[in-house]
Amino acid sequence: MKRNLDIVGKKKIFFAISSLIVVFTVVFALIFGVKMDIQFTGGSIITYSFDGELDESAFAKELSAALDAQLKTQLSENTVTKKDNIIATLGAKKNVKADKVEAALQTLQEKFPDNNIQQESINSVSASMGSEFFIKCIAAVAVGAILMILYIAFRFRKIGGWSAGVMSVVALMHDVFVIFAVFVLCRIPLNDSFIAVVLTILGYSINATIVIYDRIRENSRIHRSMSVAERVNLSINQTMTRTVNTTITTVTAMVIVCIIALIYGVDSIFTFAFPMIIGMISGLYSSVCISGPLWVTWQEHKAKKKAAEKLAPKAKKK
């Protein structure tokens, strides 16, 4: 017989750990601030490539003058094209018009004739469209969460669907927080890949939670005499191998993506894949250690309330 882990019995420890993560993230975000990508705030990012040695501060000064805007520059190397890049970020809420960018490139090519300066990419977002995009993203996540609760409430109505739905979404919010924490701690600006990661992990984590709830549903039929806590614990243990193996395969796949992205220097993939890995691990943790035990707490609380009502029906009425 396999050893059964007493997950539900240790729920207080898990709740404490998760609460700590949430509190720590909030405090960290409040102190150090949250970086937002220009996709949400508006602004422009222009990437130029160059050959040889480039005087970064002189370059920044020329570009700033040509575009008539405050900007920050940063050097980087593209491992695919083997070229040195200089990335200019224009201050928040200020994006530039196309014709100015065109003129700026000409100026730069004239001022730095030896460096073969080429414009590799530009991303320019107006402030109003950025904030609209942000609102829409929040709306998409919210609508997604509500629809999931509705669906789970319907499918798991035999085991108290609403509580199952709400608890699974609480576990999901935990995962969102962990992903948020990764972006904040690693100083990755929030952008559309943050939204994509969040939505993926939402689906992924709810997947694991549903497999466990599905077992609880099944065990409610088979083991009627068991207590809620025992039943949930049994279900978690029965599905543990699946949960762990699925996480191993998907995380392995994502780690490979991550490593390749690092080798090839594809930043956009890395900032997508890395939070995804953490999110997947968090999804494993929250499905096993949070959503099940949390549901037990709710059910026990409900049972206690019922018992209390039976014992002292008058006291309740006041």
Partner 1 sequence: MKKRGKATFFVVAALIAFLAYTALFGITSQYGDVKTPILKGVDTIRWGIDIRGGVDVTFTPPEGTKATKDELAAAESIIQQRLIAQNITDNEVYTDYQNQRIIVRFPWKDDETDFNPEAAIKELGETAELTFREGDNRDSSGNPTGVTAENIILTGSDVKSAKAGQNPNNQEIVVQLELNDSGKEKFAAATKKLAGVGQISIWLDNTRISAPAVNEEIPNGVATISGNFTAETAKDLADKINAGALPFALTADNYNSINPTLGMGAKDAMLLACGIAFVAVCIFMIAVYRLPGVVACIALVGQVAGAFAAVSGYFGPFPSFTLTLPGIAGIILAVGMGVDTNIVTSERIKEEIRAGKSVGAAVTSGFKNSFSAIFDSNITMVIVAVILMGAFGPPSSLFAKLLNPIFQFFPSAITGAIYSFGYTLLVGVVMNFIMGVTASRLMVRSLSKFRCFDKKWLFGGKKDEA
Q: Does residue 92 touch partner 1 according to CB under 8 A?
A: no
Q: Considering beta carbons, is residue 25 or 291 the nearer one to partner 1?
A: 291
Closer CB to partner 1, 80 or 315, in the complex: 80
Which amino acid does the sequence have at 240?
M
Residue 46 belongs to what H/E stretch?
A: strand 43-50
Alpha carbon 272 to its chain centroid, in Å, reads 9
Question: Cα separations (Å) of 223 from 32, 47, 80, 162, 271?
Answer: 51, 63, 59, 22, 45
How do beta strands 43-50 and 83-90 pair? antiparallel
Q: Is 12 exposed, middle or buried (0-12, 13-18, 19+ CB in 10 A)?
A: exposed
**Residue 210 interacts with partner 1 (CB under 8 A): yes or no:** yes
Minimum Å distance from CB 21 to partner 1? 24
SS3 76: strand
What 3-state DSSP class applies to 51? Answer: coil
Q: What are phi and psi of 24, to 5 degrees?
A: -60, -45
Q: How far is the CB of 56 from partner 1 (least distance, A)?
A: 21
The piece of 66-74, 86-94, 175-183, 247-255 that touches partner 1 (CB under 8 A) is 247-255
What sign results for the dihedral spanned by CA atoms 88, 91, 93, 94? negative
Using CB under 8 A as the binding rule, whether residue 30 contacts partner 1 is answered as no
Number of residues in contact with partner 1 under rule CB under 8 A: 77
109 binds partner 1 (CB under 8 A): no
Give min distance, CB of 242 to partner 1, in A: 5
Q: How far apart are CA 7 and CA 289, in angstroms?
A: 6
**Whose CA is closest to 191, among 268, 263, 254, 257?**
268
Indicate whether 221 belongs to the interface with partner 1 (CB under 8 A).
no
**124-183: contacts with partner 1 (CB under 8 A):** 124-126, 129, 132-133, 135-137, 139-140, 143-144, 147-148, 151-152, 155
Give the residue with the Cβ less far from partner 1, 2 or 314. 2
Interface with partner 1, residue 261, by CB under 8 A: yes
Contact flag: residue 120 with partner 1 (CB under 8 A): yes
Of the residues 102, 110, 114, 309, which one makes contact with partner 1 according to CB under 8 A: 102
List Cβ neighbours of 140 (8 Å cut-off, separation of 6 or more): 195, 199
According to CB under 8 A, which one of 21, 29, 87, 253 is a site residue for partner 1? 253
Query: Binders of partner 1 among 180-209, rule CB under 8 A?
Result: 192-193, 195-196, 199-200, 202-204, 206-207
231 belongs to the binding site for partner 1 (CB under 8 A) = no
Task: State yes or no: residue 257 binds partner 1 (CB under 8 A).
Answer: yes
- Which range, of 53-61, 229-237, 249-257, 310-318, touches partner 1 by CB under 8 A? 249-257
Q: Does 248 bind partner 1 (CB under 8 A)?
A: yes
Among 119, 220, 227, 237, binds partner 1 (CB under 8 A): 119
d(CA 318, CA 315) in angstroms, rounded, equals 6
* Six token digits for residue 187: 């100083």
- As beta bridge partners, residue 49 has 85, 118
